[in-house]
Structure 1
Amino acid sequence: MKSYALIIMKPDALESEIIETIMQRFVDENFQIEMVGFKQVDQELILTHYAHVVDKLGESFRQMVIADFVGKNMMPIILSQDGEKAIDNARALTGATDPSLSPKGTIRGDYGIDSMEAANRENRCCENLIHCSDSPQSFLTELKLWFNVKTYKTYSC
């Protein structure tokens, strides 16, 4: 049985030109790359993606997301892996949301150069290279959002 995960390369990963390096890390951990997309982010897309966080953190986070992502490019990628733990394994490889707290051996720990502390001080989003779906439900929601997919194939997470 295969399971699936969705990652999104954020603008800082694209600007740092480390996409191939990051993708190879997933391949080295027995993930297969199923689909790669490319989107220029508009306000509706990013606010829909971060709606749950905006609801939690409020208007200041909403404004940061708009300022930090609208008009920039992002690259959503569907990954698969044998077994039932693709999301858990992808998140473990990605590392902690705060790159400064992410251990070496993770993508954010090895390539991240930002911290939540610095981002909060500068009133901006933390540059942490990559987003990773955190549950089967968020995978399916994000799949539809980032790939405009209604029924591409049956995904199990």
Structure 2
Amino acid sequence: MSGAVVDGIDFDHRAVILCKPDAVVRGLVNRILGMISDAGIAVTDRMDLVAQPWQPHVVYRDLLADTGRRDLRDLPAYIDAAYAGQTITVALAHGEPGVHARIRQLIGHTDPTLAVPGTIRGDFGDDSTAAARAERRLVRNLVHTSDDPAGARREYGTWYGPGRTLRVSDFDRCSMILCKPDAVQRGLVDAVLERIAAAGVTVANRMDVVVQPWQAHVHYWDLLVDADWFPDRNIPQCLDDAYAGKPVTVALAYGEPGIHPLLRQLIGHFDPTRAAAGTIRGDFGNDSLEAALAEKRLVHNLVHTSDDPDAARRDFGTWFGAARRDLLTSPTGVPLQPAHANR
């Protein structure tokens, strides 16, 4: 495994996904990547490209060099016919060690007719090894992923190019999601995170936290600093009553630049009674600003996402903390800046 191919990415945690030409032609790429994402594996850095002849040669190098294969003479032609000049989609998968085996299991048997229901090839496959042999071509089985970290390193260099810098600029593409105590108490955390993921955002690194007072104070620093706007309420006490010692769920959301306003629009107005239908607070909210003011407390509005990149950096430090610095490596493998940087 040569570091000269690509350096600085932990391929124990990353696999390369190749959606083959037949997946593109049949319009199945979104559904395939969605199945992988639904399995709890972050999918990022999707890229469409036209395959050059050398690229599938490298990906299939073990088959091409296998002296035990009887069809070795024909295999290069089969590969060229299937890939050269054809459109494919590649993406990166990020997960725990063992992610390669997990995705291989999710993809299913090489022969779609032998792949079990619930696997990608079992659910979407429409070809067979027998038909491919009869027609002297490769079997059309939709998708390939790296076998192991060494394979991921090689395939990353094949499709993305050695030394390519992945497109992450600090927290421009990363937001923090806070499912508040009322979301936890009402059993709405899964529904909230699923709604965010359905917007095309990768949700990863979910973690349950029991809130310490300082976390609520840092998170709501603007309320504390502007406490003069609320002369009838004790803001520190409101924060402690609402958060201290209570369970919340936090997660990271990854997307394109512009993710912060996208998520803020998705969650809706802070007063659930003014949040539009189709937003999270509009659909699930059961409180109002009027009731909160009357009771001299914070409004229960289920969820928070970071306002902007600077807020995302601060939110990460508040809820995940220095002990989780490993999470500052995004699903793309590029380190984000520490929570104290550029402050």
Please indicate, yes or no, whether the TM-score normalized by the shorter chain is above 0.5: yes
Equivalent of 1:72 in 224, 232, 246: 246
The 5 A counterparts of 1:33-72 are: 33-58=203-228, 60-72=234-246
On the 8 A contact 2:189/2:249 being kept in 1, the answer is no
Q: Distance in 1 between matches of 2:192 and 2:336?
A: 23
The 5 A counterparts of 1:1-150 are: 1=167, 3-58=173-228, 60-81=234-255, 83-149=256-322, 150=325
Q: Distance in 2 between matches of 1:155 and 1:121?
A: 42
Q: Distance in 1 between matches of 2:199 and 2:218?
A: 30
Q: Deviations over 1:65-124 (max 9, x none)?
A: 11111110111110111x211111111111111111110000000000111111010011
| Displacement of 1:34 | 2.3
Q: Distance in 2 between matches of 1:63 and 1:85?
A: 34
SS of the counterpart of 2:235? Answer: helix
Q: TM-score, normalised by structure 2?
A: 0.43
| Displacement of 1:13 | 0.4
SS of the counterpart of 2:226? Answer: helix
| Displacement of 1:144 | 0.9
Of structures 1 and 2, the one scoring higher in RCO (CA 8 A, sep 6+) is: 1
Q: Distance in 1 between matches of 2:190 and 2:212?
A: 25
The one-letter code of the counterpart of 2:223 is V
Cα-Cα RMSD: 1.6
Q: Distance in 1 between matches of 2:265 and 2:242?
A: 25
| Displacement of 1:7 | 1.1
| Displacement of 1:155 | 3.7
The one-letter code of the counterpart of 1:61 is I
Q: Deviations over 1:122-145 (max 9, x none)?
A: 011100000111011010001011
Q: Distance in 2 between matches of 1:13 and 1:139?
A: 20
Q: Distance in 1 between matches of 2:316 and 2:209?
A: 13
SS of the counterpart of 1:103? Answer: coil
Larger radius of gyration: 2
Q: TM-score, normalised by structure 1?
A: 0.92
| Displacement of 1:23 | 1.1
Q: Distance in 1 between matches of 2:224 and 2:297?
A: 14
Aligned residues: 155
| Displacement of 1:32 | 0.7
The one-letter code of the counterpart of 1:118 is A
| Displacement of 1:26 | 1.1
Match of 2:11 in 1: none
Q: Distance in 2 between matches of 1:76 and 1:21?
A: 14
Unpaired segments ≥5 residues, structure 2 = 1-166, 330-334, 338-343
SS of the counterpart of 2:250? Answer: strand
Percentage of identical aligned residues: 25
Q: Distance in 2 between matches of 1:76 and 1:23?
A: 10
